[in-house]
């Protein structure tokens, strides 16, 4: 078969510069794929070698985010560095919470020039609220620890003594209410009967 120079130039371009199938190029020339392969070899054409396939965008983003997580984990203090006794742990937590509040204040000062969007204002309010709650709970915890545990001396030694005393007080209260309208002599006599 005889081909024009233009048709051969187009076939060569497609063969050397694209990943188009040889069968499709051969079909456009009106020849079988094996005949086209023989023609390309005889004319000295080199087959297109596609560049190496890389990661798609999602895989690149995943790899980048994992690298950021690892970097953040490396920047955080190790748990071995944290104090273990309660007083030191409370002091450390207070410093961390106050540092976070300081960061939020700095961010807010930087944004004073431009008004906050509703979403940013809500987010800032939530952050401050959670930090304030954490600080309040920590203060409550430290105040409770300062009071100390309940001493066993505050508890009664014999529960029966408490019951007897409570029963006597209840009887005296009922007698005083029942005798509220009686003359003094009758009230005294009724009270003597209950004791």
> For 72-85, what is each residue's pLDDT tens digit?
777 665 555 555 67
Q: Write down the pLDDT at residue 132.
A: 83
Name the band, by pLDDT with cuts 50, 70 and 90, for residue 13: very high
- Report helix, strand or coil for 115: coil
Taking the whole predicted model, whether its pTM rises above 0.75 is answered as no
* pLDDT score for 96: 84
Note the pLDDT tens digit of each residue in 93-136: 888 888 888 877 877 776 676 676 778 778 877 888 888 888 88
Q: How far apart are CA 85 and CA 39, in angstroms?
A: 83
Helices 86-110 and 118-147 cross at an angle (nearest 10°) of: 160
**pLDDT value at 32 more than 70:** yes
**56 pLDDT tier (thresholds 50, 70, 90):** low
pLDDT interval class at 41 (50, 70, 90): very high
What pLDDT is attached to residue 47? 93
Task: Give the residue among 42, 18, 43, 21 at the shortest CA–CA distance from 32.
Answer: 21
- Structure confidence at residue 53 as a pLDDT band (50, 70, 90): confident
Which two tokens mark 18?
């694209």
Q: Considering the chain, what is the average pLDDT of its residues?
A: 78
């Amino acid at each position: 078969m005889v081909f024009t120079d233009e048709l051969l130039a187009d076939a060569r371009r497609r063969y050397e510069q694209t990943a188009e199938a040889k069968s499709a190029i051969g079909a456009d020339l009106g020849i079988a794929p094996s005949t086209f392969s023989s023609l390309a070899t005889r004319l000295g054409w080199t087959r297109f070698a596609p560049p190496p396939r890389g990661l798609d965008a999602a895989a690149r983003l995943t790899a980048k985010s994992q690298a950021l997580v690892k970097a953040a984990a490396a920047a955080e203090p190790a748990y071995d560095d944290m104090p273990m006794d309660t007083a030191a742990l409370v002091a450390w937590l207070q410093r961390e919470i106050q540092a976070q509040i300081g960061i939020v204040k700095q961010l807010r000062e930087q944004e004073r020039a431009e008004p906050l969007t509703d979403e940013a204002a809500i987010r800032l309010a939530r952050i401050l609220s959670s930090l304030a709650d954490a600080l309040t709970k920590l203060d409550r915890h430290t105040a409770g620890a300062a009071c100390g545990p309940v001493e066993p001396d505050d508890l009664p030694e014999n529960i029966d003594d408490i019951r007897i005393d409570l029963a006597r007080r209840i009887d005296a209260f009922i007698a005083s209410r029942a005798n509220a309208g009686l003359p003094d002599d009758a009230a005294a006599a009724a009270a003597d009967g209950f004791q």
